[in-house]
Structure 1
């Protein structure tokens, strides 16, 4: 049961939640929806066009993280299948919370999403868009984890021209979030994740985000590593904001 939509959740530790949400609203240019949930813990970053694919959550405990919502017609059936593929069910709140074989949190949900937002164009003319979640997978669990995500999404794993440690999953047209599987040199540990942007002018986009409070951690041939004001690490890449692939 392949997802028809994927949402990326920015989960914030309680003490940095408000500042974190303000930064990500500013850097994306997306408004923040009214809060919802039993403790007002959820909100949506609302794009100027298309359907939402970025949301935020205030955690009861633990550090900042990323999790994914996979949108499917039948969350219960999808969760049962995922458990058969090696996932562990954590909770059923109507939406179903699971962890992957490597310990990465994700949910099956049923709410709609059909239209991918357009990239944002900034003063000076360049454009950018958050369009990818990179799953950072320790080497010892890579084979099992990569097979799990290919099977649970139904998306084919491909090689990368940038690094043999990178393997994108081929998303269907119109999906807002691309998945990249990265094999870490760390031998063990839990699977974690970070956000990637696509931009057609990485230097200009770096300058824009630094002006909003980001810090540059490193610059490489096809990507730049940044941290937000709460030290959440993410990347800007040279991938085309419209297609998601390198020029």
Structure 2
């Protein structure tokens, strides 16, 4: 069996989605494409989407430890990480760390994100990758590569990358990795991926064969599974 699941979007949990969604809209220059009681969605100029999902009891990560791990973060591209980091702080971010070509901050919901140097980026930021923590980055990259058909374009000691059609997912090698245990509030997810498939039954069967585990049958519209590292993800039925 081979089934291709299309990466739809990454969804981050937050108690105040208006605050964090408006923060990223102001910082990145991305378009607001969805705004209701439960979701705040943004779209990059190249068509990638990021959403913030209302989670009233959201417990923020505490980077860099694994007691309350980040699990996911965004790698954003800008021509001047230093200047944009200062602007981010003015918009409500917290500065966490500085590197030679990047700055790590936390958004108003506590999710870390990186501002990465890339020459030629204009006033609207680019999204290089959604980055996911893993105890076995190479193995998790292969799982998602097999599930989505996105090839592994990099595999090294610090992590692995899959990508296609301008969309990238990075898997970051983490020692002492602490997985989410959805829906246990003591070990919450921080974010998850939505993947679309033509048929939920065959898509779920393929994901399980690759090493996923079932968390919620979901019915006829979606299925909730966990990847081999324990991150929940949703399979949703593609629109007819």
TM range (shorter): 0.3 to 0.5
Kindly indicate which of the two structures has a greater share of residues assigned to strand: 2
What TM-score does the superposition give when structure 1 sets the normalisation length? 0.45
